[in-house]
Amino acid sequence: MLKGQNIVLGVCGSIAAYKSALLVRLLVKAQANVQIIMTPDAVNFITPLTLSVLSKNPVLVDSFDSKSGVWTNHVELGLWADALIIAPISANSLAKISNGLCDNLLTAVYLSARCPVYFAPAMDLDMWAHPSTQTNVKQLLSYGNKLIAPANGELASGLEGEGRMAEPEEIVQYLSNTLLETNAPLSGKKVLITAGPTYEAIDPVRFIGNHSSGKMGFALAEVFQKLGAKVTLISGPTSLSTPNCVSRINITSAAEMLQACSENFEEADILIMSAAVADYRPKEVAADKIKKDEDSLILDLEKTTDILKTLGAKKRENQIIVGFALETTNELANAEAKLKRKNLDLIILNSLKDEGAGFAGDQNKITTIDSSGNKQTFDLKSKVEVAKDIAQEVLSLLSKKQ
């Protein structure tokens, strides 16, 4: 996302200015065009020469160079930039820009910028916690600027607490993600995805479950996040790591998944139910571990609530609901019936009969069916590639609803 982007990096007077060197390298490595502006105090912490070599551009400090007689046009810089990042920003510069003070080149460019502005504070913990600093931060946020919050740790003063500038890698990742949200096809959309199995307790140590790994749902969460969506992932028990910038809610049982889905469904633009939710659960859960006293054990089971059908009945006109159907017989007929019965826009059919596809593997083979009866069968692919195919189907449906 940063390739070819014009980035103005503002560097203020702070010991954290040494991190700016690594930040510049990362931005250049990402193929961004980097123009650095330093405040007069910043040159006491890191030399303009260092940052100039790393950025491959002259570093700007003053609006007017008395030796060359050249004036730096702050308006042009503000218009040139696709993003302005001030990292580190000191308490002094934070106060200046939040109140519209303009006494150096960086503050002048800030006031001229029409692009997104990001600020990464660096200061001692008491300065950061001071009410005046917090008021200035709120003021900047109210203007639409984006805060890259300081971290907690050892500070230059020797104290421990909040005030460390975010690490350069975190800043670049945050910048990439937010620019992606701005330019991506699902920017501003909220996507709710379920993944993994549910475990239905028999007693304190045993449960009824299934072989779902959650890999398909996690792949979907990753792909939809990269398309700019704000993704909430509701996951049953799994050892998988949460994809970057995805909000995760962990659940165990079908009842917990129903509650989590119900709480988040109303705000969702798109719901994708890829979880393998248990259809039945024990009617009664033993308070103590069941002993192996008998040769057989009879469990009285009851149906769990059909989450997809429940939410399908509440679907708004502009919402999209995607369901999954894992079938072993009469695959197409059963999937089409499920699509209609549960008021879905799209159903993803996969079969345990397809070699290489299934629960625990890294591949899947799907057929998609939409509410108009259109069908498309895909080859066996990695689950990430399958997720991309599903995303394209959803984008097509979304364009028809808008």
Binding residues for CTP: 279, 289, 324, 338, 342
List Cα–Cα distances, 176 to 21, 121, 192, in angstroms: 18, 19, 22
Q: Which tokens sit at 349? A: 């059919």
Distance between CA atoms of residues 155 and 121, nearest Å: 13
Q: Measured at the alpha carbon of residue 138, what is the angle toward residues 92 and 131, in degrees to the nearest 5?
A: 60
List Cα–Cα distances, 26 to 3, 34, 177, in angstroms: 12, 10, 15
| Location of structure tokens 């937010």 | 178
Judge whether 350 counts as a catalytic residue. Answer: no
Residue type, 115: C
Distance between CA atoms of residues 318 and 383, nearest Å: 27
- Helix or strand or coil: residue 42? helix
CB atoms within 10 A of CB 244: 12
CB atoms within 10 A of CB 43: 17
In 215-293 the beta strands, taken as DSSP E runs, fall at 230-235, 247-250, 270-273, 280-282
| Location of structure tokens 């979880």 | 275
Distance between CA atoms of residues 45 and 55, nearest Å: 17
The CA-to-CA distance between both ends of the chain, in Å, stands at: 26
Give the distance from CA 359 to its chain's centroid. 25
Quick one: CA dihedral 39, 40, 42, 46, positive or negative? positive
Spot the catalytic one: 57, 73, 177, 210. 210
Q: Where is 195: in which H helix or E strand? A: strand 190-195
Q: Which tokens sit at 293? A: 């006293």
Backbone angles phi, psi at 201, to 5 degrees: -65, 140
CB atoms within 10 A of CB 190: 15
Q: Which tokens sit at 388? A: 């991309």
List Cα–Cα distances, 349 to 329, 367, 379, in angstroms: 12, 5, 13
- Return the active site residues: 210
